[in-house]
Each structure stands twice: as C-alpha cells, then as structure tokens.
Structure 1
Amino acid sequence: MAASAPLSDGATQAKVIVVGAGPVGLFAALRLAQAGVKVDVMEKDAELSDMPRAAGYHGGALVALARARVLDKALDMGWVARGMCWRKPVTDDGEGGKKYGDIVARLPFPSGDPNSITSNTPALVLPQSKLSKLLLDEAKATGLVTVNFNMELAAIQDNGDSVKATFTRAGSGAHETYEAAFLVGADGGKSTTRKLLNIPFKGHSWPERLVTIDCVFETPRTVESDVPISFIIHPVHFGVVLPLEPLEPGKRSTYRCAVAVDPRDARSDEELTSKESVNVLLNKMLPGPRPVNAEVLRAAPYRTHQLCASTFRRGRCVLAGDAAHLNNPFGAMGLTSGLLDAEALADSLDLIINWRKPLTLLDVYSCERQRVFQTFASPVSTMNKLRCAIDPEHADEDWLIRSLNSNPPSSLEEYGRQFYDTWRTDMRSLVGGVPSS
C-alpha cells in the first residue's frame, strides 16, 4: 500500500465525526473510542428512535458485539432464541378462534456458547431501540464520545487532510461547523451524507409495504418452544412473528409482528397503521380468540429495498449501515450487516490513525463490505423474503426447506459458517502484522 497522507495537527488528528446516532453509528463510535479515538456523534433527531425496527442478531454480529465487550450486557437485556421455523398461516382451531398453521420446516439453533462458530447460528433477540440505548451509554462512558442531538448535516468539505462538516441546529437554525480527520456517514437509508457526497444508490424496491407491530398477546399453551421465531408463508400476507421476551405458554408477552400488505393496497401509511387496519393484519398472523386479543404498543409501515451505494468511500468520508446498503428484513441481515460494517470501519480507522496505515485502507474497507453485501447479504436476504412469499403448499420445493426436512441440521454446516466467515470482515487480518484486539 502507498504511504499515508499526513493527518491534521492537534485535536483534529485523532477525532472522527459520526453522522447518525442509530446503533450502527453508536457502535462505530464505541469501537473507535475503545481504540483511543475521540468521536463527535451528530444526530438530527431530538432523541434515540423507538420505532419498531430490527430485533435479531446472529452470526458474525455476535462476534462483533463480543469484541466490543457489550454482548454480555445485551444478553442480559434480551434473550437467546433456540430456533426458528417456517409455517403456514393461522387456521381454525375448532373453537371459534385460530391456531398457528402447520410447521413446514424447523431450524433449531445449537445450545451453548453464543459466540461459538457452529453449523447454525444462535440468535440474540433485543429490540433495536434497547441496543441503541446500551451502545449510547457504553460509548459515553469511555469519555471520548460526545453525542449531539438536534443537529442536521448541511454541508461537507473534504480538505484532503481533514473534513469539515456543517450542521444546522434544530430550533435556532444556527449553523455549526465541526472538523475532524474523518467523517462516517451512518445516517440511514435516506442518508444526507451519501447525497452530499453524490454517491449513487442503485438497486430495486420491493412492491409491497411491511407493517411492523409491537403488541402484547397470550402465548398459546401449545406453542413449540424449541422454534419460537415463526416465518409465516403466504403469497401476499407473508411475515414473521417474533417474541421479544422468552416464551411462557399461557402468559401475555410482548411480540414483534411484521406482515406484508398487498402491493395493490393504495391506502396511506396513516391508514395502514390505524387501529382497525392493524387489528385486521394481526388477525391474519396471530393465534387465539377472534377478534384477536392483542394490545398494540406501536406500529410502523415501511417499504423494503435491495440497494447498494456505488462506493462506500469518498476521500475521508465513509459510509456504513443503511447509508451504504439496504436489504429487506427477512433473516435479520439489515442492522446486523450494519454492525459488521461499523466493526470493520472502526478497525480501518484505528489502523490508519494509531498504526499509521495508508488511507487506501478505506478503499479496502469499501470494496470488501460492498462485496459482502452484493455476494452474500443481499442474495441471502432476497431468498429469505421470497421463501416466505409463496404458496405454502409448495414451500417444500425450496432447497433449504427440503434440506431441513430430509437431513439433520448439521448437514447445513457449510451454509451456516458463511454467517461468520463470509459476512464478517477482519480488517486486521487483511492488513497483516497488526495484533488483534
């Protein structure tokens, strides 16, 4: 690699600006602070988001959380699911209500150390909002991370040896400029960072909207506790039912329910999340008496995409998470991919700032994480979605469903290892000659 360009003198030399205080931005900030780098995190909203988004983490993402020394705390806040299944839609229970549909295939997770590299990946269940709060607290506790809310990115100036970013403060409208050695854009799918850097975002959007609903209802006494996560197979109203706390049959518990809406449904987002509409969707997904006896905590509609930035780097500015790529949520590969971006990017910046590695290492980061998305995360999540959006009577024609039903789960060991070996990028190994951390 070519020699590194000199960094600016003074405080700027060891400072990074992170745009976006979501879990990806906060995780990058935490990892940078653990490497001794000062970080200014800038967030346009007034507080952390509590919208019902991601809730599952597995494979290499668990390794990344363990490296950051937050996995144990995350496990205390959430729980580890023991497996998942694909099943048909709810059906009559013979008593005027509904029961879960028949299971089409089971995928049990191995027990034991959640960090072990095994044939099937265990899954940590923890709502994104709770992970964000954990990462915020851990990042601030380092003493090297400052988090500024109500600050919206307005302009970026890359000077070659430093970056200046101008933000507009909500309320006063005042402009404030910050300078650092690098800028990380972790500001989501509508990333202002990406737009200001004029980086194309290419791919496609799925035709249907998803409505994600957090609700409380009674766990069926007949529930299969070994596979608590249920993917519901249906050509139109496919989705997932995910317990947000350990299963206790007969007890009312909190669940995340995501259900697809007919692409021809022209109702507004507000209409889709009305009480009446949400209850109709829950009746399509949840077992129990009718009408469904569920307390809705929050609901949010959103469109899903398969999009990727043409590059994750422009000069001293780098993208991570949804700012760099978007994929549908089936299989929990969205936020998890973002966390793995943040890990690899923080390692790259650590190597440049503290180990004097060349700036071209950011090109390696960009190419490697882009390659992982294009060749692994996007195609796998695409098939996860399409596997659910079919006629359930033909689900067993899919190779994965057929493999699970005809062979022991250990037969998928090579497939499962990709979620560790392929999904995660070890920048220190790519560079060589640098101790692991």
Structure 2
Amino acid sequence: MTDDLLGRHRSVLPDWLALYYEEPIEITHGEGRHVWDSEGNRYLDFFGGILTTATAHALPEVTKAVSEQAGRIIHSSTLYLNRPMVELAERIAQLSGIPDARVFFTTSGTEANDTALLLATTHRRSNTVLAMRNSYHGRSFSAVGVTGNRGWSPTALSPLQTLYVHGGVRTRGPFAALDDYDFVAACVDDLKDLLGHTRPPAALIAEPIQGVGGFTSPPDGLYAAFREVLHEHGVLWISDEVQTGWGRTGEHFWGWQAHGRGGPPDMLTFAKGIGNGMSIGGVVARAEIMNCLDANSISTFGGTQITMAAGLANLNYLLEHDLQGNARRVGGLLIERLRAVAAHVPAVREVRGRGLMIGIELTRPGTDEADHAAVSAVLEEARAGGLLVGKGGGHDTSALRIAPPLTLNVAEAEEGAAILERALRSIR
C-alpha cells in the first residue's frame, strides 16, 4: 500500500516536494503524543507535523469544536460578520502585547509573512527589507525573497531588495568567538553600518529562534538592541512567531519577549500551533500599520469559521492547562537529558533550544563541518526505534529538530531521549 502510494505521489506531485525517510511513511491517525502509520507502526511524535500539532493529536476539545462548527456552517468568507473570527482576534490582540492591535487571519505562516511585508513596505513606502542570515519565512515569492537560507530559497528574483544582517546564529560566523555582550554589540554595530549605506528599509523581519535554520538563536536582548537602532531610522520590526509562538519556548508566550526591552514588535506573524493542525495564520499590527492599505481586500479562507472554532478551543486549552509552563518544565528536563547524552557522542556539536524547541547540531567529529549524512542517519534510526523528529540547518549546519506537542509528559520525554540516545550512538 505504501509503495503504491509513493509511486502515485511521485507521478503527480512536484519533485521538489520533500519527503522524509528512505522509505516514506503514511501517517493515518494519532492520539496524544503518538501517531500510527499505514503499516500499524506506532511512533512517539517529536515533530508535530512541523510544530503544528502543538497541543496533542485528536485533542477532544478541538475535535468537538470542529465537529460542532461543521454542523452549523464551515465557511462564509470575510465578506460577512464572523463571530468565531472576532472572538479569536480579540484574544490574540490582547495576548500579543501590541497596543491598539488589529489582527488579520490567513491560511498559513507563509501568507502571514507575505501580508506583513505588504503592510510594512506600503506603510514605509520602501521595498527594502532587512532579514537575518540563516532565516526562513515561507515559500511565496516575497517570503522566499527574504529567506536567508540557500537550501530553501530557489530564486534570486524578488519584488524586494533584501539586506541580510548578522546575529541569528550565535555559535557560527564572524562574531562567534565573542561573549554575549560583545556579540550583541558587534551585531548592532554591523546593523548601524549597514543602515548608513542604504536608504531606510521598510522593516526587519526576524525569527526569535530560527526554525528551519536548525533552532538557532542569538543572545537574549539582541532584537531589543536592534529595535532601538531601527526606531531611530523609522524602520519597523516584524517578529516571525510562526514557530516560536503560543508558549513553545517555555520561558515566554512569544519569542520576542526574550528581547522585550523597549516593548513589543511593530508586527508579529503567527501560524502553525494555534490551529493544532487546522490551517490558521495571521498578522498582528498596530492599527496605523494594519490600516495603511488604500485598496479593498478580503480573505476567502483566512478566518473561516471552522478553523477559528478550532483555534479558540485550542487556545483555551493551552492557557487553561498552562502548557507554556509544561514546555518549560518538561522541555528543561529533556534538554538536560540530551546534553548528558551528547557529552558521550563526538558528532554532537551543540544541543540548544528552549522549552520544547530543541536542536541537536551534528558535525564531523573534531571539526565544525556539518554532517548532513549523520543527521539523516539519526533521523532514520529514530524512526526505526519508534520516534519521529525533524531536521534543518543552513549551508554550513545540519541539525535534528525536536518539537513535541506541548502536553508531552516526563515519561514520554524520557522515552524519546532514550531512543535518540541509541540513534545518536549508532553514528559511525
């Protein structure tokens, strides 16, 4: 069945549509932190559909909300008043920390970032955008144009002029040898120098923790320091919270809060985890920015009733059960367990991350040379052992990505760590 499905996949879908594993699997159903494939194999899920099943598979509160909403009306578009959309927007506006916030819903993080770039360039009357090296912001034409990761940017053509800034990767690059204070200072000086050579850009778009880039991040406070410089030049700050939002980092509800000196960003984008698998993205911005467009616009599927019902139920569950706190507690234990394992595996260069957003970078032992083959081998071994994880990295990095649903318990964290330990020790 799987082999037949793989052949059919290859005959009708693009060659560039990536599949994990030498023998790709079909996931047929899930419950809690586990999923099953079409062969009946059970897996502990440490990737959640790319950080999207953020709470749990088949969470009763979400499935009930979806079923009840489907029995009333699934969709009407934004041309009509939509109670679930208004209710979810009210909650997100309040949680965002952005004053006088307005929320626009989309169907994905790509579309959310595309919208944020449209708003920023229109508001600032500039098509120049600052982005971080090793970043990823989506697959649309404009989002690819601000993605600083060659492996996910298939064209140099873009409607935007993008300038890339240092700072997203702490342990590589020209400032890696500096301590945190001097690292931040050097990155700020680099930003100031860059701004001195160009007309003022519209915005800086940045992930507080780089997702596809391998869960890399700068020292706390970097983006706050950037914000002070940007503010002097009238440049907006867009925080891409598609992977870091909703409490995943444990210490904060939003990734930007680790850089919160001076207040929230001008805009934040979100997606993935809020829908717990349903297709929701969006932008939060101050009213003056959100309302700067002077043409009509709608969203056919952004904010549709069934996804908003799911988002409301999921957000309520996430807050009522303090899943941010659980990410901090269980994630902290998992990181320490993996660091203890890594101490005995020469190929592990670094275990990094926060909460339940953890990266394990692999290199050829004794060097800083990325070992992409080792990452793929560990991915395969983990799957064989009953664990699903992800992978990522830039041109000179390769890392395993670990991001379980936020309801992960201590026993499951220990189980997953044990499987990863065996997989890592299998590296030759």
Q: TM-score range by the shorter chain?
A: under 0.3
More helix by share: 2
Larger Rg computed on CA atoms: 1
TM-score, normalised to structure 1's length? 0.27
More strand by share: 1
